[in-house]
Amino acid sequence: THYRLGKNLPFSGILFRNSRSALMDQAIAVIPRTTPLMMAVLAFQFAGCEYQPPAGDQTCFGYLTTPRTQFRPQCPLRPLQHHLSPYQQPHSCRSQSTSAGDTFPPLDADESTELSQRDDDVSIPPEALPSPPPSAALKSAKLAALHARLSLPPRLPIQTLARALVHESADPDPNFNNTSLAILGSNLLGLYTSEYLLCNYPRLPISVLFAAQSAYVGTKALALMAKEWGIESVAEPGGEVDPGLLQYRRLAAGAAWGEFAPRGTGRPNEQKGWRRGITSKIVYDDQFGDMRMTTPEPSQPVPLDIAAESFVRALMGATYLHCGRATTKRFFASHWLSRTLDLSKMFEFRTPTVDLSKLCAREGFEPPVARLISETGRASRHPVFVVGVYSGRDKLGEGAGGSLDEARVRAAVMALKSWYLYKPLDVTLPSDAEGMEPTKWKPNLVDIGEVIV
Amino acid sequence: MPLSAVKAVAKGQNGVGAFILQCKRLDFHYCDWAGSSRGMNAFIQKRLPQFARENPQIEITVSPRPHKHPVVKGHYINGREKAVCVRNMTTEMILEKASLLRDASGEKLKRVNKPVTSVNESVRGIWSPYHGAQYKI
Percent of chain A past pLDDT 90, that is, above it, reads: 54
For chains A and B, count residue pairs whose Cβ atoms are closer than 8 Å: 166
Q: How far is CA B9 from CA A183, A381, B16, B77, in A?
A: 21, 37, 17, 19
Q: Is B18 exposed, middle or buried (0-12, 13-18, 19+ CB in 10 A)?
A: buried
Residues of B in contact with A61 (CB under 8 A): 48-49, 52-53, 60
Name the residue among A189, A182, A255 with its Cα closest to residue A221. A189
Which of A39, A149, A421 to mutate: most B Cβ within 10 Å? Answer: A149
Please indicate if any CB of chain A lies within 8 Å of the CB of B107: no
Residues of A in contact with B128 (CB under 8 A): 374, 376, 386
By DSSP bridging, strand B59-64 and strand B71-76 are unpaired
Q: Which of A66-80, A204-218, A292-306 has the lowest mean pLDDT?
A: A66-80
What would the DSSP string read from start to end of A177-199? SSHHHHHHHHHHHHHHHHHHHHH
Fold that domain A130-256+276-343 belongs to in CATH: Ribonuclease iii, N-terminal Endonuclease Domain; Chain A (1.10.1520)
d(CA A173, CA A89): 12
pLDDT band at A267 (very low <50, low <70, confident <90, very high): confident
What is the average pLDDT across A345-365?
A: 95
Residues of B in contact with A413 (CB under 8 A): none
Contact criterion met (CB < 8 Å) for B3 and A210 = no
Please indicate if any CB of chain A lies within 8 Å of the CB of B119: yes
Q: Is the pLDDT of residue A88 over 80?
A: no
Q: Is the pLDDT of residue A87 over 80?
A: no
Q: For chain A, give me the number of helices (H) and strands (E)?
A: 13, 5
Q: Do domains A130-256+276-343 and A349-422 have the same CATH topology?
A: no
**Contact (Cβ atoms closer than 8 angstroms) between residue A182 and residue A313:** yes
Contact criterion met (CB < 8 Å) for A228 and B3 = no
pLDDT in tens, chain B (137 residues): 689 999 999 999 999 999 999 999 999 999 999 999 999 999 999 999 999 999 999 999 999 999 999 999 999 999 999 999 999 999 999 999 999 999 999 999 999 898 888 888 778 766 766 777 777 77
**Contact (Cβ atoms closer than 8 angstroms) between residue A263 and residue A252:** no
DSSP 3-state of B117: coil
What would the DSSP string read from start to end of A281-326? HHHHS-TTSPPPBPPPPTTS-B-HHHHHHHHHHHHHHHHHHHHHHH
Query: Which pLDDT belongs to residue A11?
Result: 52
ipTM of the complex: 0.91
Please indicate if any CB of chain A lies within 8 Å of the CB of B35: no
Please indicate if any CB of chain A lies within 8 Å of the CB of B46: yes
Which of A232, A288, A339, A421 to mutate: most B Cβ within 10 Å? Answer: A339
CA geometry: angle A387, A388, A393, nearest 5 deg: 150
Residues of B in contact with A44 (CB under 8 A): 49
Residues of A in contact with B5 (CB under 8 A): 205, 207-208, 210-212, 346-348
> Using CB atoms, which residue from B8, B55, B128 is nearest to A345?
B8
Nearest CA in chain B to A58: B61
Per-residue pLDDT of A114-135, as tens digits, reads: 444 434 445 788 888 999 998 8
Contact criterion met (CB < 8 Å) for A335 and B17 = yes
Query: Which pLDDT belongs to residue A49?
Result: 54
Query: Which pLDDT belongs to residue A366?
Result: 96
Residues of A in contact with B119 (CB under 8 A): 340
Contact criterion met (CB < 8 Å) for A334 and B24 = no
Distance to chain B for A180, nearest Cα, Å: 26
Query: Which pLDDT belongs to residue B121?
Result: 79
Name the residue among A46, A36, A313, A341 with its Cα closest to residue A209. A341
pLDDT band at A83 (very low <50, low <70, confident <90, very high): very low
**Domains annotated on chain B, with CATH:** 23-103 (3.40.30.10)
Query: Which pLDDT belongs to residue A28?
Result: 56
CATH number assigned to the domain with residue range A349-422, chosen from the 4 options 3.20.20.80, 3.40.50.2300, 3.30.160.20, 1.20.1250.20: 3.30.160.20
Please indicate if any CB of chain A lies within 8 Å of the CB of B130: yes
> Using CB atoms, which residue from A39, A62, A348 is nearest to B4?
A348
Contact criterion met (CB < 8 Å) for A347 and B5 = yes
> Using CB atoms, which residue from B4, B32, B128 is nearest to A207?
B4
Query: Which pLDDT belongs to residue A268?
Result: 81
> Using CB atoms, which residue from B54, B61, B129 is nearest to A62?
B54
Nearest CA in chain B to A149: B57
Residues of B in contact with A342 (CB under 8 A): 8
Which of A61, A220, A353 to mutate: most B Cβ within 10 Å? Answer: A61
β-sheet bridge partners, residue A428 = none
Please indicate if any CB of chain A lies within 8 Å of the CB of B52: yes
Domain boundaries, chain A: 130-256+276-343, 349-422
Per-residue pLDDT of A130-171, as tens digits, reads: 999 988 999 999 999 999 999 999 999 999 999 999 999 999
